[in-house]
Each structure stands twice: as structure tokens, then as C-alpha cells.
């Protein structure tokens, strides 16, 4: 009985994400199950990348609160040129770097830093055409991060910003951000904004 519990505990220490499209379709990658990380579900990712396919190939993307890296890795798999992953957890950032190496993904770069601090530092790494943002829920981060992103100068002309947020909260977006698409899955709303 003790051995079974230990094995179960070990399995619970690791999460898995399966890529669903592109060059690495069906590849499964592991990441540490820390900080309540929950990869964007397959069904939601499929919808999102259907929305983005006309503009995704060859773009530079930004994955904020990267966590498992599901969104940025999916973007690279489907033809994005480069993805910058920003993640504050050392464990998750290390796992992302290892997964990029496993995939031989030269277009991925991992930054281990707090998202708001990184945006306010205005690192000269843009411009980004597509931004993925899936902050921890109930942390009040959507508005401040979107405001910092809008002020950062990191967005390309006609950028797209994808935001996951609580379905019972309608975030206030910066001026010039127009809602292009929105869907809901349970308690999660996922929205795509076009930035003028």
C-alpha cells in the first residue's frame, strides 16, 4: 500500500501537456505540477489556433505566465518563428528550457522573471505579433498586465492578444483593444483582442 501511495505521489508531482497540431503533433511533454499550473485544454487550444492560423506563420510570439508552455509550444509547432516564454517559477522555467531542447526548438527563449517586472523593464525583444496571457485566476492580474503590455512598446502593429480569465469577470482593456473573438468553457472565458 505504501509503495502505491508513493508512486501516486510521484505521478502527481508531474503534469503533462500534449501538443495537438503542427510539426510536433501528438508529442507529450512533462512539467512540474507547481503553482496550480493548468495547461490550456486541447479543445480551447484548437479553437484558439483556428482563430490565429491566418496570422501565425513566421510571427514572433510572447507567452506570459507561460507555465507548462502549452500555448507557446503549440505556436512553435504550428509555424511561429520565435516565442519568448516569461515564467516566474524557476522549476517551470527550467522544465520549459528542457522541453524546448527535447523538441530541438531553436525559436524558443525562456525568461525567468515576474511578468509585470519584465514588461515594465521594456526589454528590446519585440515587437510581438501574438501574445498569450493566462494569469493565475482570482489574482487581479489581467488589467494591470494588459495596461503594462499596452505601455511597453512591445506590440507590433495589428497585434493579437489572447487572454484567459474568469467567466464572471469582464476585464477592462486598454484603449484601442477590440474584442475579436470570445468563448467560454465552464468558469473560464477566453478572449482574443486585436490591437489597433
Phi, psi of 74 (to 5 degrees): -60, -40
Q: Distance (Å, rounded) from C-alpha 184 to C-alpha 18?
A: 21
**Whether residue 127 has a cis bond before it, omega within 30° of 0:** yes
Measured CA to CA, the distance from residue 87 to residue 107 in angstroms comes to 17
Compute and round to an integer the Cα radius of gyration of the chain: 16
**b/e map of 156-173 (b: 16 or more CB within 10 Å)?**
eeebbbbbbbeeeeebeb
pLDDT tens digits in sequence order for the chain, 196 residues long: 333 333 333 345 788 888 888 888 888 888 888 867 777 888 889 999 999 999 999 999 999 999 999 999 999 999 999 999 999 999 999 999 999 999 999 899 999 999 999 998 876 677 999 999 999 887 889 999 999 999 999 999 999 999 998 888 788 899 999 999 999 888 889 999 999 8
- What is the predicted pLDDT for the residue at 121? 86
- What is the 3-class SS of 57-100, one letter each residue? CCCEEEEECCCCCHHHHHHHHCCCCEEEEEECCHHHHHHHHHHH
Q: Which CATH superfamily is domain 2-195 in?
A: Vaccinia Virus protein VP39 (3.40.50.150)
The ranges assigned to domains in the chain are 2-195
Bridge partners of 146?
A: none
Whether residue 130 contacts residue 61, with contact meaning beta carbons closer than 8 Å, is answered with yes
CB-CB contact of 30 with 61 (8 Å): no
Distance separating alpha carbons of residues 86 and 111, to the nearest angstrom: 5
Q: What is the pLDDT of residue 12?
A: 53
Task: Please give the pLDDT value at position 91.
Answer: 94
Amino acid at each position: 500500500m505504501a509503495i502505491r501511495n508513493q508512486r501516486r505521489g510521484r505521478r502527481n508531482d508531474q503534469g503533462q501537456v500534449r501538443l495537438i497540431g503542427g510539426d510536433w503533433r501528438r508529442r507529450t511533454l512533462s512539467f512540474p505540477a507547481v503553482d496550480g499550473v493548468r495547461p490550456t485544454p486541447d479543445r480551447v487550444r484548437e479553437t484558439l489556433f483556428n482563430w490565429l492560423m491566418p496570422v501565425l506563420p513566421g510571427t514572433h510570439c510572447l507567452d506570459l505566465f507561460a507555465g507548462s508552455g502549452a500555448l507557446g509550444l503549440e505556436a512553435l509547432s504550428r509555424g511561429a518563428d520565435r516565442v519568448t516564454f516569461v515564467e516566474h517559477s524557476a522549476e517551470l522555467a527550467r522544465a520549459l528550457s528542457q522541453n524546448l531542447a527535447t523538441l530541438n526548438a531553436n525559436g524558443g527563449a525562456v525568461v525567468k522573471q515576474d511578468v509585470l517586472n519584465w514588461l515594465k523593464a521594456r526589454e528590446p525583444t519585440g515587437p510581438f505579433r501574438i501574445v498569450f496571457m493566462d494569469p493565475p485566476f482570482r489574482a487581479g492580474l489581467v488589467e494591470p498586465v494588459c495596461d503594462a503590455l499596452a505601455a511597453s512598446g512591445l506590440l507590433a502593429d495589428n497585434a493579437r492578444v489572447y487572454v484567459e480569465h474568469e467567466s464572471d469577470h469582464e476585464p477592462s482593456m486598454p484603449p484601442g483593444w477590440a474584442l475579436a473573438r470570445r468563448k467560454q468553457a465552464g468558469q473560464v472565458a477566453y478572449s482574443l483582442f486585436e490591437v489597433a
